[in-house]
Structure 1
């Protein structure tokens, strides 16, 4: 059996009771750490809370070399832990398909996701979000501008855009960096950058930080510790505008 378990948003205690019970009864516990992170808990804290050893996985361990996970699931009970909800990433969908092809039964225990948390933090209505996108750190001779296409297409359809910010082993993209990169994409393409941004940090923690405004405001703001996420709103409903003014300083 391979069980996909969402850990929620911030620390080891965000997990559901059902998820915790599945971990405690499992033979092998794997944690992927490349699509998201629980910034309020390290592996040691998680192991103490779960009472089990946790095996950390990088991207290649899941995408290129998943046999260790599948072998453990074939022999007994294995759990695959992810920040947020486990099926947001296509990587995890691929792993479940691989398990099915080997005749390994699977199940999903969902967790709180940033995709719903941003609605609560920003007041932006969930049915008004279009396709999301991710902003990667540019590399030498590589500066993708496709995230801007997604943002502008959503705005044209009067839809908000959730923008995921890059996570590297040694650094986490900030809201300010994300806003700057969007502006640079627009400049590179001779297009107009969005006018309003909503930045959020540490969703799920006791003290999340939310700020809305123009690019200069958000680039100057200190959002503090990661993880950060960005939303590009389209037109604002009266209630959305009032919510952002009340809780995000618009």
Structure 2
């Protein structure tokens, strides 16, 4: 008997692999991890398709009551379902370490996740650096450690995938302090919100007009990394609902994306990529199709990113 950690893919109940579906149907208990990401459907559709009752596992259950999930998993098959791929969040690696401690055998069944599906933007996956998660800021909490990873990627010329915060089954500070199990409505960070937070952490940067094509294209053919991440000359591509039929991509400078209405990006979940300086003509042309301003996209690609045909 075994604990199955099963990736569900990115869209709906039919994205599960055949191997994953067989494991679900043969399991005594089926859990759905419901806080690191979400599917575009409710658990009722999963239950109907899989022919199984599903127990929704929130953050508290997974992080503080994992013994309930692992109970008797050495005697019966138990399935733990994860949106995307099982190793998209370190929480799931921790669950397997706990299974090891209890001598519970486990099997991991992989699936597509945003980490590889982002290849749909046309940027070479080999040229991505560290992925960052951008949390919601509050009046008293503005974490910025992730920004240094963005800058490290920029210095290396690498693209940065930015995953945006979601708040599901979260308590307010007051309710948490009072021990009241009252939860806030779900919230999903949008691309404009994330970019606004990013730019709020940056010092004033020089105007894009101060750069010339002569300055921006050194003999090496790669423009120098702009540590300031000048919003008017830093290219980015948003990726919303990746893997869904309604997926939406928008490309432009950080300034252009920040100025758009949230509706321009489609429904959640949102993410975006900050384009690194290892940018070439094929990538430019692929992403131009979704550009806010195609002429500006080409201009910045040439003058700042030193892209040549």
Q: Shorter chain as normaliser: what TM range? A: over 0.9
SS of 2:289 mapped into structure 1:
helix
Distance 1:188 1:27, change over 3 A: farther
Match of 2:86 in 1: 86
Q: Aligned equivalents of 1:201 and 1:3: distance in 2?
A: 29
Displacement after TM superposition at 1:248 (Å):
4.9
User: What are the residue-to-residue correspondences of 1:119-138 with 2, within 5 Å?
Assistant: 119-120=119-120, 122-138=121-137
Task: Check if 1:193 corresponds to 2:229.
Answer: yes
The runs of 5 or more residues in structure 1 that have no matched partner are: none
User: What are the residue-to-residue correspondences of 1:186-225 with 2, within 5 Å?
Assistant: 186-187=202-203, 192-194=228-230, 195-219=234-258, 220-221=260-261, 222-225=264-267
Q: Aligned equivalents of 2:98 and 2:12: distance in 1?
A: 29
Distance 1:99 1:244, change over 3 A: same
Larger relative CO (CA 8 A, sep 6+): 1 or 2?
Answer: 1
Displacement after TM superposition at 1:81 (Å):
0.5
What TM-score results when the alignment is normalised by the length of structure 1?
0.94
Distance 1:232 1:76, change over 3 A: same
Residue pair 2:5, 2:108 contacting (<8 A) in 1 also:
yes
> For residues 158-202 of structure 1, what are the alpha-carbon distances to aligned partners after superposition, in whole Å with 9 as ceiling and x for unaligned?
111111100102110011111111111214999723511110111
Displacement after TM superposition at 1:247 (Å):
4.7
SS of 2:163 mapped into structure 1:
strand
Match of 2:197 in 1: 181
Q: Aligned equivalents of 1:233 and 1:146: distance in 2?
A: 20
Q: Aligned equivalents of 1:72 and 1:46: distance in 2?
A: 24
User: What are the residue-to-residue correspondences of 1:21-170 with 2, within 5 Å?
Assistant: 21-39=22-40, 41-120=41-120, 122-169=121-168, 170=186
Distance 1:142 1:22, change over 3 A: same
Displacement after TM superposition at 1:74 (Å):
3.0
SS of 2:97 mapped into structure 1:
helix
Q: Aligned equivalents of 1:72 and 1:133: distance in 2?
A: 36
Match of 2:282 among 232, 239, 250: 239
Q: Aligned equivalents of 2:291 and 2:16: distance in 1?
A: 27
Q: Aligned equivalents of 2:64 and 2:98: distance in 1?
A: 12
Displacement after TM superposition at 1:134 (Å):
0.3
Q: Aligned equivalents of 1:243 and 1:54: distance in 2?
A: 41
Match of 1:226 in 2: 268
Q: Aligned equivalents of 2:204 and 2:188: distance in 1?
A: 24
**Aligned residue pair count:** 248
Aligned-CA RMSD value: 1.8
Q: Aligned equivalents of 1:146 and 1:119: distance in 2?
A: 26
The runs of 5 or more residues in structure 2 that have no matched partner are: 169-185, 207-226, 298-309
Match of 1:172 among 188, 198, 210: 188
Residue pair 1:2, 1:78 contacting (<8 A) in 2 also:
yes
Distance 1:193 1:70, change over 3 A: same
Match of 1:16 in 2: 17
Q: Aligned equivalents of 1:188 and 1:98: distance in 2?
A: 47
Displacement after TM superposition at 1:37 (Å):
0.6
Q: Aligned equivalents of 2:109 and 2:257: distance in 1?
A: 36
Point out the structure with max Rg over C-alpha: 2
